Amino acid sequence: LRQTPGPHNALGLVKFIFPNPSHVYLHDTPSKTLFQRSRRDFSHGCIRVEDPVALAHFVLGEAWGADRIRAAMQRGRDNQRVNLKTPIPVLLYYTTAVVEEDGELYFFDDIYGHDERLAKLL
């Protein structure tokens, strides 16, 4: 089954696909209120983008202005694909512990269970 494109689609109006072994991608969302929550792990590993127009503008450059991007998202044909002439490297970084510049250590829930698998390997 595949949900049709549109304003109620769980992926929003745009998704940013990039090659990766986990098949993760970035996407818009119709549920903008989710960005107000401190914990936002509602999807199955894909990443919601709070401002997809700004990301698209950054990725596509000046050839695509914000108005053209919005028009393509709102009124563009379904499944319009835009390939980049020059690839942009994307780095996804999953961690459950972070040390800030001031030396403060923070721990986060391991929502995907990677720490347990890593501990077994070690």
The secondary element (H helix, E strand) that includes residue 106 is: strand 105-107
- Structure token pair of residue 100: 């800030």
For 12-37, the pLDDT digits (tens) are 888 899 988 888 888 887 677 666 66
Average confidence (pLDDT) over 64-70: 90
pLDDT reported for residue 92: 83
Q: Is 27 a catalytic residue?
A: yes
Selected catalytic residue, list 8, 46, 57, 114? 46
Do residues 25 and 18 make contact, with C-beta atoms less than 8 angstroms apart? yes
Residue 102 class from Cβ within 10 Å (0-12 exposed, 13-18 middle, 19+ buried)?
exposed
Q: How far, in Å, CA of 16 to CA of 72, rounded?
A: 14
pLDDT reported for residue 9: 76
Q: Is 46 a catalytic residue?
A: yes
pLDDT reported for residue 63: 87
For 71-106, the pLDDT digits (tens) are 888 876 667 788 898 899 998 888 999 999 999 999
Q: Please measure the distance between the N-terminal and C-terminal CA atoms of the chain and give it in whole angstroms.
A: 40
Is residue 48 very low, low, confident or very high in pLDDT (cuts 50, 70, 90)?
confident
Q: How far is CA 1 from CA 4, 42, 80, in A?
A: 10, 20, 20
Find all residues with CB under 8 Å of 27, minimum gap 6, and list them. 11, 12, 14, 15, 16, 46, 47, 48, 49, 52
Q: Percent of the chain at pLDDT above 70?
A: 83
